[in-house]
Amino acid sequence: MSDLRFNSIAGAVLASVLGIMGVGVAADAIIEPNYPEKAGFLPVVEVASTGGAAAEPAGPPDFGRLFADPAGLAELIARGDRLHAQCVSCHTFEAGGANRTGPNLHDAFGRAVASHAGYEYSEAMIAHGGTWDYLALDAFLLSPMTNTRGTKMNFAGVRNETDRVALIAYMRSISPINVPLPAPLPEAAPAEAEATEGEAPAATPG
């Protein structure tokens, strides 16, 4: 009795499995799968090109021209006076002012680098050498940590060129050291002159 019941159950299970397989085969025969050779959507990945010539860096500010104009220079000094407020947490600017995180900057413009008495400079600043003139200050203020790697001045820099020029104008105005202005940079040739250089001369009637 038990054998008959087992055989009945096994037969039913086998019939179910065969039936499911048969349905799958029939479905594949009726509906043929069709996959395109290329995907309908491809993700767009932008890759920055590393080839080609790098952009030319901008030249230095034209201090000889900017500071030669008295009215313009006065405006730059006033702007620099306002901007230097962001520096007073680390520096003093009055004559005889104390050193803070950084040295007193009253006579920084025009003096030798790493030469203020009583301040312990980093080895990197001592090795910098030179004098804090127009171009040296401009390059340093742009990015102190890049210009002098290892400096104690943990400051990102002044990216805006007009702000840098204004700070330098202010530092120059309070410094007792006189540094002659550099000669104005040569002006670029007018675009019109460049455009006419390649033109062929007009034919004269013969």
**Segment 70-87, tens digit of pLDDT:** 999 999 999 999 999 999
Query: How many angstroms separate the CA atoms of 141 and 118, rounded?
Result: 23
The parent domain of residue 101 ranges over: 63-174
Tens of pLDDT, residue by residue over 130-174, are 999 999 999 999 999 999 999 999 899 999 999 999 999 999 999
CATH number of 122's domain = 1.10.760.10
Torsion of the alpha carbons at 100, 102, 107 and 108, rounded to the nearest 10: -170
Residue 132 sits at the vertex; the CA angle it makes with 126 and 136, to the nearest 5 degrees, is 95
Provide the number of structural domains found in the chain.
1
Tell whether 162 is covered by a domain: yes
Tell whether 22 is covered by a domain: no
Residue 175 CA, distance from chain mean position: 31
Tell whether 194 is covered by a domain: no
Tell whether 151 is covered by a domain: yes
**Model confidence, pTM:** 0.65
